[in-house]
Amino acid sequence: AQRVTQPEKLLSVFKGAPVELKCNYSYSGSPELFWYVQYSRQRLQLLLRHISRESIKGFTADLNKGETSFHLKKPFAQEEDSAMYYCALRGANAGNMLTFGGGTRLMVKP
């Protein structure tokens, strides 16, 4: 079975503060990990994926297989980062099943 856990339902920070949204997963094989974001009144959309090792809108995430984590980080939060963030996992042998965590609402205060 594949499972994604986001322990924080709500994360509130001030503008300019560092942000870390936690994601832990359980999966026996080699997973693909993603972060999706849903801004207010918009569709859910891909933010970044671990295989790309990219930085999008200042966000980065590193896959730590030892700790089975894929935390999302940004050194300086902006107000426009306020949104709902979902960590997701696709297992290579899971028939294309894409599993999401419970989501973390990030609020960036001015």
Partner 1 sequence: NAGVTQTPKFQVLKTGQSMTLQCAQDMNHNSMYWYRQDPGMGLRLIYYSASEGTTDKGEVPNGYNVSRLNKREFSLRLESAAPSQTSVYFCASRENTEAFFGQGTRLTVV
* Residue nearer to partner 1 on the CB measure, 17 or 51: 51
Q: Residue 104: which of 64, 59, 52 has the closest Cα?
A: 59
Structure tokens at 91: 């297992």
* Residue nearer to partner 1 on the CB measure, 10 or 66: 10
Query: Rule CB under 8 A: which residues touch partner 1?
Result: 6, 9, 32, 34, 36, 43-46, 49, 51, 86, 88, 90, 95-103
Shortest separation between residue 73's beta carbon and partner 1, angstroms? 20
Residue 48's φ and ψ, nearest 5 degrees, are -160, 165
Q: Residue 106: which of 38, 52, 58 has the closest Cα?
A: 38
* Residue nearer to partner 1 on the CB measure, 73 or 90: 90
